[in-house]
Amino acid sequence: MQLSVWTYEGPPHVGAMRIATAMKGLHYVLHAPQGDTYADLLFTMIERRNHRPPVTYTTFEARDLGKDTAQLFQDAAMDAIERFKPEAIIVGASCTAELIQDDPGGLIEAMDLPCPAIPLELPSYQRKENWGAAETFYQILRHLADKSVSPGPREGRKARANILGPTALGFRHRDDLIEVRKILEQLDVEVNLVAPLNARPSDIARIGNADFNIVLYPEIADEAARWLERTFNQPRIRSIPFGVSATRAFISEVAELVGADPTPALGDTSSRLPWWSRSVDSTYLTGKRVFIFGDATHAVAAARIARDELGFEVCGLGCYNREFARDVREAAKDHGIEPLITDDHLEVEDAIGKAAPEMVLGTQMERHIAKRLGIPCAVISSPVHVQDFPARHSPQMGFEGANVIFDTWVHPLVMGLEEHLLTMFREDFEFSDEAGPSHHAAHAPNTAHKAPVMEEEVIPEPEVTELDSPAWTQEASKELKKIPFFVRGKAKRNTEAFAAEFGRGEIDLDTLYDAKAHYAR
C-alpha cells in the first residue's frame, strides 16, 4: 500500500475516458460501481465541456454482487448502443470491477452487437492515467484501422500527415493543434487525420492514407505511432515543437521528409521570444535557478527552453510518469543534475526545498508547493486546474507557443528594475518582505496603514536545519534578513555549507560575506 494524499495521475480508466471524450461517435461502456461517475466532473468542470462524457457506467451496488453483474453489464451496453447509436464502443472495467472478475471483453463477444466493440485491459493496480490513454488509443487503432488503405504514390498530390495525441483534458492540446496546423499549411502538407481529438471511428479507418505521422504527445500516442510505423510503414517526426529551436527543428524535419521548402515557415515573423529574451530587461534572467517537474515530455522541453532560450540554469528536473523516465534521465545528464523520478509529491517538495530554486516550473501540485515556500512558479504540465484551460488562445507549441511561454514564465518573477530597487532599498518599509513582488498573485500591500517608522523587530534565530550546522550570531542573523527574500534561502544554505566546510564555529558577519565571496558567480 502506498500512503497518498495527492496523485499526479488518475487510474487508467480515466485515461480511456480522455480518449472517448476527445472522439466523436465513440461510446465507453465502463463496468464500475456507483460513484465512479465523479470523473465526469473533470471534463464538465475543469475543461468546461458542454456535453457529458460519452461514458455509460454500469453502476453496480453491493446488492448486485451476489447476483449477475455480468447481466447488468450486458444490459448497460445494449441500452447505451440503442440510445446513443455510436459507430463503435470501447468496453472495460474500473478498479473495482477488475476485482469481481466479470470479463467485459468476453461478455461483449457473446452479444450480437450492431457496431464494433473494442475490449480494453487496463490493470488498475499497476498502471495509471497516461498509460490507460495510450493503451486505449492503440487498441482503437488496431481494431478500426483499415489495413488495406495506403497513401499510394506521391506524384501530383500534397504530402499527407496524421497528427496524433491531442485528447480531452490535455494541457493546451486545443491550441497546440492550431499552431501545428498553421505550420503544416505553410509547408503545404495536408492533414489526413487528427486523432483522438474530434476523430470519429469511421475516420480512424483511413489512418493508413497518410505518408507520415506527427506525435504531439508521446505519453498518449507513442505506442500507437510505433504500431503505425510497423503496420503502414509510416515514418514519424521526432521533433516536438516546444520552444523556438524545437519549432525550427520540427519545420526542417517535416520539410525534409516531404521535400518542401522550409523557408516560408522558418521565416515566420510571429516569433517574438528571441528579441524579448535578448532585450536588456531580460538580462536579470541570466542564471536564474529553476526547478522543473511534470510529465516527461513537457519537463524535458521546458528544461531545454529554460536553458537555451531564456538563459536560466536548470537546478532540478523530474517527472511523475515512469514510462518515460529515460528521456528525463538523459536530459538531466545533459544539464549535469540528478533526475527525480517519483509520483510522491512529498519527495518533490523535499527536492525543491533542497535545491532552493528561484523559480519552479511544474504542475498544479508544484504551484502549491511553491506558494508554500514563497517561490515564483508557472505551470508547464498536467495535472492542471480550471485556470489552465483558458478562454484565450494559449498554445505551448510553435512560435506563438514560445511567445506564450516567455510571458508565462517571466510574469511571476520580479521584473528586473523592481529586483534592483528591492536590493537598493531593502530597508525601505514599502519594500519589506511582506509586500512581496507586485506580480505575485498573493500580493496584498499591507503597508498602507503602517507608520513609516519601522519598529525594531526581534529577529528569531534562523532554524537550525542540521544538528551540526554552526550557530548564527545575532548580527549575522539580522544581516541575512536584509538579503532579498527570493535569494535568502540560498544564501543561508550556502553560508552554512561554507561554515561547515571551513570549520567556522559560529556564523558571524565575516563568515556570511566570506561565503558570499566564495560562492560568487
As measured in angstroms, the least distance from the Cβ of 60 to other proteins is 7
Angle at 126 between CA 299 and CA 229, to 5 degrees: 60
Q: Is 48 in the site for other proteins (CB under 8 A)?
A: yes
Pairing of strands 212-215, 189-195: unpaired
Choosing from 79, 281, 433, 510, the catalytic residue is: 281
As measured in angstroms, the least distance from the Cβ of 51 to other proteins is 5
Nine-digit cell string for 301: 522541453
Among 24, 25, 49, 200, the residue binding other proteins under the rule CB under 8 A is 49
Phi, psi of 308 (to 5 degrees): -90, -20
Q: Is 52 in the site for other proteins (CB under 8 A)?
A: yes
List the one residue out of 302, 136, 323, 247 whose CA is nearest residue 237: 247
Q: Is 125 in the site for other proteins (CB under 8 A)?
A: yes
As measured in angstroms, the least distance from the Cβ of 10 to other proteins is 4
Distance CA 198, CA 163 (A): 12
As measured in angstroms, the least distance from the Cβ of 88 to other proteins is 19
Q: Report whether 416 belongs to an annotated binding site.
A: yes
Q: Is 166 in the site for other proteins (CB under 8 A)?
A: no
Q: Report whether 36 belongs to an annotated binding site.
A: yes
Q: Is 424 in the site for other proteins (CB under 8 A)?
A: no
**Which residue type, as a one-letter code, is found at position 159?**
A
As measured in angstroms, the least distance from the Cβ of 30 to other proteins is 10
Distance spanning both ends of the chain, measured CA to CA: 45
Among 67, 278, 326, 372, the residue binding other proteins under the rule CB under 8 A is 372
Nine-digit cell string for 153: 504514390
Decide: helix, strand or coil at residue 508: coil
| Number of residues that this document lists for the chain | 521
Decide: helix, strand or coil at residue 275: helix
Q: Contacts with other proteins in 65-124 (CB under 8 A)? A: 65, 76, 79, 83, 94-96, 99-100, 123-124
As measured in angstroms, the least distance from the Cβ of 123 to other proteins is 8
Distance CA 389, CA 385 (A): 7
Q: Is 440 in the site for other proteins (CB under 8 A)?
A: no
**Which ranges of 309-383 would DSSP assign to H, the alpha helix?**
325-335, 345-355, 364-373
Q: Report whether 417 belongs to an annotated binding site.
A: yes
What are the strands of the beta sheet with 236-237, ordered from one edge? Answer: 189-195, 159-164, 212-215, 236-237
- On the 0-12 / 13-18 / 19+ scale of CB atoms within 10 A, 471 is middle
Decide: helix, strand or coil at residue 434: coil
Residue 203: active-site member: no
- Span interacting with other proteins, options 52-60, 162-170, 290-298, 330-338, rule CB under 8 A: 52-60
Q: Which is nearer to other proteins, 34 or 446 (CB)?
A: 34
Q: Which is nearer to other proteins, 38 or 275 (CB)?
A: 38
Q: Is 178 in the site for other proteins (CB under 8 A)?
A: no
Contact assessment for residue 141 and residue 234, using Cβ atoms and an 8 Å cutoff: no
Q: Is 63 in the site for other proteins (CB under 8 A)?
A: yes
Kindly list the catalytic residues: 281
Annotated binding site for substrate: 416-417
Using CB under 8 A, list all residues that contact other proteins: 1-7, 9-11, 13-14, 33-42, 44-45, 48-52, 56-65, 76, 79, 83, 94-96, 99-100, 123-126, 128, 365, 368, 372
